[in-house]
Structures are given as C-alpha cells and as structure tokens.
Amino acid sequence: MKFLDEAKVYIRSGDGGAGAVSFRREKFIEFGGPDGGDGGRGGDVWIEAVNGLNTLIDYRYQQHYKAGTGIHGMGRNRTGANGASVTMKVPVGTQVFEEDNETLIVDLTEEGQRFRLAAGGNGGFGNAYFKSSTNQAPDWANPGLPGDEKTIWLRLKLIADAGLVGLPNAGKSTFLATVTRARPKIANYPFTTLHPNLGVATIDGREFVLADIPGLIEGAHEGVGIGDRFLGHVERTRVLLHLVSAQEEHVGKAYKTVKHELEAYGGGLEDKAEIVALSQIDVLDEKELKKKAKELQKACGSPPLLLSAAAHMGVTEALRALRDVIVASSEKTALPDRSLPVADADDLDDAGDED
C-alpha cells in the first residue's frame, strides 16, 4: 500500500429541504387549513479517527465528499427526511487545515475522536408553521438553508513513542528491522527509505512504537534531497534516537548536520529528548572505534551509545534507554544512569592520548 501523508479534499454539507405550502381539503371536512410540513435538515460532513489506517491514500482516489440534501416537506403535516451525513475516516494523528494549509481546524490524536467539519442546512418551515389567529391561511413557506462548502487539507503525523533520525545510510532501517517486525527497504545507497515506517519494539515486557523516517542531508530544510517534511512524523514522539554511522569520516560533523536540520525545521524537535548512538560499529577496529566515539561525545556533549544492528551489538541497551525516557516522560520520574555498552567514558578519554 502506498504511503500518503497529505491530501486536499473538497467537502460540502447537504442543503436543507424546502417547506411545503399545502391546505387540507377533504370532503365532508368542514374546517381545513394549512397543513404543509417542514423540510428535512441537510446532512453533515464529519471526520473520525479510526484504528487500522496509517495512510491517507484513500483520499487520492476520492477527493469530493458531499452529504445528502434534506427532503422537502409535504402536505398533511409531513416533515421531510433529513439528508444522509458523510463520515470521512482517517488515521489517528491526522490534522485538518483550512484551504490556506496553515489554519488548523482540528487535530485528531485519539481513536474514535470525531469532529463536524460542515453542518447541514436547516430545513424550511411549511405554511402550517405560520398559521395564527390573525393569519389562518398563510400561502407561503420557507426554503431550506444551503449547506456549507469548503476545501480542506489533511495532513498525517504518525503517532509513535520514539523516532529514528540521522543521515542517509546511518543504519536506521536496519535497526528498525532488527528490533521490530517491520520490513523496510535496506540497501547500500542513499535514500532507500522514501516514506516513514512504523514498528512495535518490545523490551523487558514493555512495548513501544518506533518510527523511521527518510534520512536528512545538509540543506534539507531548503528542499535539498527529499526535504524535511517527513520530520512531522516524529513531532509527536517522546524521544529521538539519533544514529550516526561509524563509517562517516567526521562523525561530529555528521551529528551537527542533522541537529542543524532539526533546529531549522522547528516544531519542538530541537528541544526533544535525544539519545545519540554511534551505529555500524562492527566495521571498525577497537582503536578507531574509541577515536570516533570520543569525537561524537565532544559534538553531542554526552557519551554516545555504541551499537550495530546488523551484528546485534548494543541493541538491547539502546532499546532500554529509549524505554526509560518514554516511561520517565509519562510518569515524570528520574532517568536511570546507564553505562556505555562497549566503552565507558574513561576509555574514551584514554583514546585521546593515543592520537
């Protein structure tokens, strides 16, 4: 199934039915009088967040949603039926914007959350509504009110507990495939990930959702590469796992490049909890590993985790670190102090003397 996270949709609620002009005229009935019924109300257009969807692909093939028109009133005081309403079903995490694509209408963050986007027009009154002691034979009725119409934008931001960020080929997809049942595309060329992937990771009996997004390169916020719009899918996460490939010549520069793109994007990503990890360490010898780990520590300000998803090194420690931040953010507890899985801080300092 193709992934689509933005769609433009036209919606229109139903018009109200017109009231009827009618008089009761029956044989042997001495007194007649107006008996025109009211028109029915037009249908509404609703949007609802449902489980089981993770893309807006349905709205590429159907982009117009119109509710039913109310039925006109009829004689013998018969009220017209209301028009059928329309419900647009979208994934949890969908935001609805006005036509300018900037004014937020509603943010659907919970399953079952509903919102009325366009109200149907009221039905018109029949002439029976207007009869009185001084006007016993009104010969007019109200028309139904028109429904609302507008163009809206749907924008999906995936709901995940943790997100993976980094340069292309930093090992994000390999990590996701290793710790979850997700099967993202993995290859040795840049931008193998062209759309976000979700997976459920489990560690020590606790599950959390992990999101992998396409890699960022320098200038992504200006549209270089495939841009940075996919960063919206990690806006809702509680923690970011920033992977820096050990194959980078300058790991500190690689870290700062991605960090700059996160700051340029905004959305609170620059202030989000972050765990930095040096990935793909199985390709380095011990001396080179210590050297790059120290360089990365200097760039990010704390000892990085050392891992290799392909060789299953340090993966458990990374998952536990993510879990601790997720639990702490939900319970507002202090984070436990975890040591590095491959080299401790003293080893990294000693490595600087060997250079």
Known binding-site residue numbers: 166-173, 191-195, 212-215, 279-282, 308-310
Q: Are strands 45-50 and 64-66 parallel, antiparallel or unpaired?
A: unpaired
Ranges of H-type helices in the chain? 58-61, 172-179, 251-265, 286-300, 315-331, 345-354
Residues in Cβ contact with 308 at an 8 Å cutoff, skipping those fewer than 6 apart: 171, 279, 280, 281, 282, 314
d(CA 193, CA 173): 8
- The two beta strands, 6-12 and 64-66, are parallel
The residue whose two tokens read 């009618």 is 22
Cα→Cα distances 268→115, 235, 244, 262, Å:
26, 7, 21, 9
Q: How many CB atoms lie within 10 A of CB 149?
A: 12
Give the residue numbers of the binding site for Mg(2+). Answer: 173, 193
Q: Which residues are annotated as a binding site for GTP?
A: 166-173, 191-195, 212-215, 279-282, 308-310
Distances (CA, A) of 228 to 157, 235, 241, 282: 13, 12, 17, 29
Question: Do 88 and 48 meet the contact criterion of CB atoms below 8 Å apart?
Answer: yes
